[in-house]
Amino acid sequence: MLAIGVTAARGVPWVLAMPLAGVAAALLVGIAIGWLFGRAQRILAAQKRREIAKSKQQLRAIFDGITDGLIIVDRDFTVMAVNKAEAAFLGSTPQELVGKPCYEIYCRGDRACESCPAHETFATGKPVLVSKIEHRSGYHRTGVDVYTFPVKDEDGRTVQAIQYIKDVTDRLKLQSQLREVEQMTGIGHMAANVAHEIRNPLIAVGGFARQLHEGLDADDPRREFTSIILEEVTRLEQILREQLTLERHLQPVLAPVEVNRILKDVWKLLSHGMLSSRVRLIGDLADGLPVTMGDTNQLKQAFLNVISNAIQSMPDGGRIEISTEQSGQMIVVTVRDNGPGISKEIMDKLFVPFFTTRKAGSGLGMPVTLRIVENHGGNISVDSAPGEGTPVRISIPIVRSAPEVEHRVLYGDSPEVPNDETAGRR
């Protein structure tokens, strides 16, 4: 080919040689384009690789930046990824843990830990929450909530599970403190009621016993009995005085409070445990509510009691609206659920200590709430009928000083409430 070409180039006029030059040029251009195209592709591929590496790095940074534990396992419970926080808890590094079966790490066994919520996520394809994971051996973590979320392939099969391990020690501590306050307040309240009831007859018993004692001759043997009665009455009076002092200790410690802030804290406290209960919390908190005087912990307890009741009334799920508004000189907090509502018979006993319709109930939630609200100079009303859900309205006066609260507790005030809301009003 080349010999013919050369011959032709030498032997033929230049006009005939032109097409050959054109072919060569086209070839050259083609090669150049091909080379350029290849190079462009290589540059693009390198750029893509850099972008992928960058995204991976960013994802890794997010994964490791989360201070709660994160771990991804496949259907064989092999660790696909684990973040730094979880690896640090396990005294290891992510590199050391990836590729190992997670049950070897967590429950030191040879098959998936029984209490692992990922079983259910793999079986149902749904998120699952368990509180307090306990393993027979290995890591016992009672202060954690473990959530598992499914990772699905394009056919919708759950191929991996993401486990989110949240340390809830502080929340558990706060909950148990609040329960203690609830019990103390409830028991203190009841003891104070009993003390009040006993004190008056006891004054009569003591008074008459003293008269009898003084009316008896000095050598009358019955004086021994009357003096025992007097001694015992004095002892009982002392016990009652102590009870009433305990009751005074439960008075609120007043400081400026933001009601919305308190509700947000309660919300945070509750929302963690609600994933499984299918209850939706909806907030409608008014802007610019004034600061008032109150006891943060006690108010938190009061709102928690009412919202917990709403949650417990809807075991199959439902919605709870929490709203705040200013109404005259009151801040009104309304907790409204769309649960089964309250019948007239239950409504009549709602604030009676130890009245409960729940198996695990204490019957202290509502009386304690009432007590707290009244100690703030406020009031509470519940309007409910079977099948209509339950709105609970708590009104707290807007006050600037502790003496003003005391004045309201003693002498009351007429809060602005519509006339038709009288059921369950305290």
Ligand X SMILES: Nc1ncnc2c1ncn2[C@@H]1O[C@H](COP(=O)(O)OP(=O)(O)O)[C@@H](O)[C@H]1O
Which residues are near ligand X by CB under 6 A?
Answer: 305, 309-310, 313, 337, 339, 342, 346, 350, 355-358, 361-366, 390
Q: Is 33 helix (H, G, I), strand (E, B) or coil?
A: helix
Q: Which stretch binds Mg ion (CB under 5 A): 60-68, 125-133, 258-266, 360-368?
A: 360-368
By C-beta, is 152 or 358 nearer to ligand X? 358
Give min distance, CB of 207 to ligand X, in A: 39
Give min distance, CB of 310 to ligand X, in A: 4
Angle, helices 169-215 vs 296-312, to 10°: value is 110
Picking from 358, 291, 359, 286, the residue whose alpha carbon sits closest to that of residue 325 is 286
**Interacting residue with Mg ion among 121, 185, 298, 309 (CB under 5 A):** 309
Picking from 226, 358, 372, the residue whose alpha carbon sits closest to that of residue 295 is 372
Residue number with the smallest Cβ distance to Mg ion:
365
Q: Which stretch binds Mg ion (CB under 5 A): 60-68, 112-120, 245-253, 357-365?
A: 357-365
Q: Whole-angstrom Cα distance, residue 223 to residue 413?
A: 53
Give min distance, CB of 380 to ligand X, in A: 11
Q: Whole-angstrom Cα distance, residue 307 to residue 3?
A: 98
Residue number with the smallest Cβ distance to ligand X:
365
Give min distance, CB of 178 to ligand X, in A: 13
**Binding pattern for the stretch 256-295 against Mg ion, x by CB under 5 A and - elsewhere:** ----------------------------------------
By C-beta, is 317 or 363 nearer to ligand X? 363
Give min distance, CB of 384 to ligand X, in A: 7
By C-beta, is 107 or 350 nearer to Mg ion? 350
Locate tokens 């959530």: which residue? 147
**Interacting residue with Mg ion among 150, 252, 365, 377 (CB under 5 A):** 365
Give min distance, CB of 357 to Mg ion, in A: 10
Give min distance, CB of 180 to Mg ion, in A: 15
346 binds, among Mg ion, ligand X, none (CB under 5 to 8 A by kind): ligand X
What are the E-state strand segments in 190-278?
255-257
By C-beta, is 345 or 420 nearer to ligand X? 345
Give min distance, CB of 262 to ligand X, in A: 19
Angle, helices 296-312 vs 365-375, to 10°: value is 150
- The pairing of strands 279-284 and 255-257 is unpaired
Give min distance, CB of 315 to ligand X, in A: 11
Which are the contacts of 89, defined by CB distance < 8 A and separation ≥ 6?
69
> Phi then psi for 406, rounded to 5 degrees?
-60, -40
Picking from 148, 147, 144, 146, the residue whose alpha carbon sits closest to that of residue 170 is 144
By C-beta, is 294 or 365 nearer to Mg ion? 365
Q: Whole-angstrom Cα distance, residue 221 to residue 180?
A: 50
By C-beta, is 184 or 398 nearer to ligand X? 184
Tokens coding 10: 């030498």
337 binds, among Mg ion, ligand X, none (CB under 5 to 8 A by kind): ligand X
Tokens coding 365: 């939630």
By C-beta, is 183 or 227 nearer to ligand X? 183
Other beta carbons within 10 Å of 67 = 12
342 binds, among Mg ion, ligand X, none (CB under 5 to 8 A by kind): ligand X
Q: Name residue 78's amino acid.
A: T
List strands edge to edge, sheet with 79-82: 79-82, 69-74, 158-167, 141-152, 128-133
Q: What is the maximum span of the chain, computed from C-alpha positions, in angstroms?
A: 166
Contacts with Mg ion, residue ranges (CB under 5 A): 309, 365
